[in-house]
Amino acid sequence: MSVATTSLADVASSEAALRAFLHGLPGVDRVGADQRAAMLGTRSIKTTAKAQAIDLAISMVDLTTLEGADTAGKVRAMCAKAVHPGGDAPRVAAVCVYPDLVEVAVRALAGTGVKVASVATAFPSGRSSLEVKVSDTALAVAAGADEIDMVIDRGAFLSGRYLKVWQEIAAVKAACGGAHLKVILETGELATYDNVRRASWLAMLAGADFIKTSTGKVAPAATLPVTLIMLEAVRDFRDASGRQVGVKPAGGIRTTKDAIKNLVLVHETAGDDWLSPDWFRLGASSLLNDLLMQRQKLATGRYAGPDYFTLD
């Protein structure tokens, strides 16, 4: 897909310019996207490649707990597992928690290389003022979060107020300082694949370091066609702007099969530059145990059973 590089600098100069740009993006061929994602999802891979893929997937996990009932103890246990998932398995990429638990995770993960990610901006609805969203972000960053996962204002996006969405993302990005910003599109609420493409571009233009599919609180969450469209968007955005943005499917990814399908999509769509935890994450609360079980099965020929591992 070709996008005029010159147009990117001025794209958010007005609501009209932003709308013209986003609605000027080529429409998504829905049937084609569904078929391509389904076809890539059935690719089989050799046993040696599978072992590597499982370890790569583990290293890409954002191990997540986002429940009202979360406690400091639960987060500490999760952090221990994030650093030493089991046997010689690699550590995960990050632990993702609500802002009030950032400090607990920061202390538990100090010096381990596992990042602390936090949802902010009135997650998961995003329904609060910009002031509240910015201060939510600033507090999480001050507590030591390395990464902020913000939600876009879907109400504004769906009613065509793109500039408001752009301004919020840009303000939250500024509040992030050195922390990386992941922008959650909540694709299950965006209604069309064209909207997923537009929201992806909007987030990247406003400064997202990552674009993320979902909060995990809305169904459907991370589907393969949606991830495919977002991978195409980051690929095309890098071609147009020279800046690489990461992708994080999140929500409903529970099995090794799901994880490997995602890795095949990355390889076939955006390319191998994205096949690292720096550029691709899997946001999941209960994927890690299945990855560890399949890893054990490949190494020993038998399953250890879910009770062999600590709970996700």
Q: Name the residues that contact ligand G3H, by CB under 6 A.
A: 64, 66, 96, 215-216, 250-253, 283-286
Q: Which of 81, 115, 173, 212 is catalytic?
A: 212
Give the DSSP H/E element, type plus range, for residue 5. Answer: helix 5-8
Between 58 and 96, name the residue whose CB sits nearer to ligand G3H.
96
Q: How far is the CB of 1 from ligand G3H (least distance, A)?
A: 28
Instruction: Please state whether 234 falls in left (phi above 0), alpha (psi between -120 and 50) or beta.
Output: alpha
* Residue 96 beta carbon to ligand G3H: minimum distance, rounded to whole angstroms: 6
The Cα 196–Cα 186 span in angstroms is 9
Toward ligand G3H, which CB reaches closer, 8 or 246?
246
- Phi, psi for residue 182 in degrees, rounded to 5: -105, 130
Output the six-digit token pair for 55. Answer: 């370890």
Between strands 282-284 and 210-212, the pairing is: unpaired
C-alpha span between 39 and 277 (Å, rounded): 25
Closest Cα to residue 154, out of 190, 119, 191?
190
42's tokens: 């059935």
Least Å distance between CB 302 and ligand G3H? 26
Task: Calculate the CA 303 to chain-centre distance.
Answer: 29
Q: Which is nearer to ligand G3H, 96 or 175 (CB)?
A: 96
Instruction: Pick between residue 207 and residue 252 the one whose CB is nearest to ligand G3H.
Output: 252
Residue 12 beta carbon to ligand G3H: minimum distance, rounded to whole angstroms: 27
State CA 245 to chain mean position distance.
11
Beta bridge partners of 118: 97, 148
At its nearest, how many Å lie between ligand G3H and the CB of residue 292? 15
**Which one is catalytic: 136, 248, 258, 290?**
248
Closest residue by beta carbon to ligand G3H:
216
* Residue whose CB is less far from ligand G3H, 12 or 183: 183
Residue in the block written with tokens 């459907």: 220
Q: Is 258 a catalytic residue?
A: no
- Of the residues 149, 209, 236, 290, only one is catalytic, namely 149
Residue 212 appears among annotated catalytic residues: yes
Is 81 catalytic? The answer is: no
Q: Which residues are catalytic?
A: 149, 212, 248
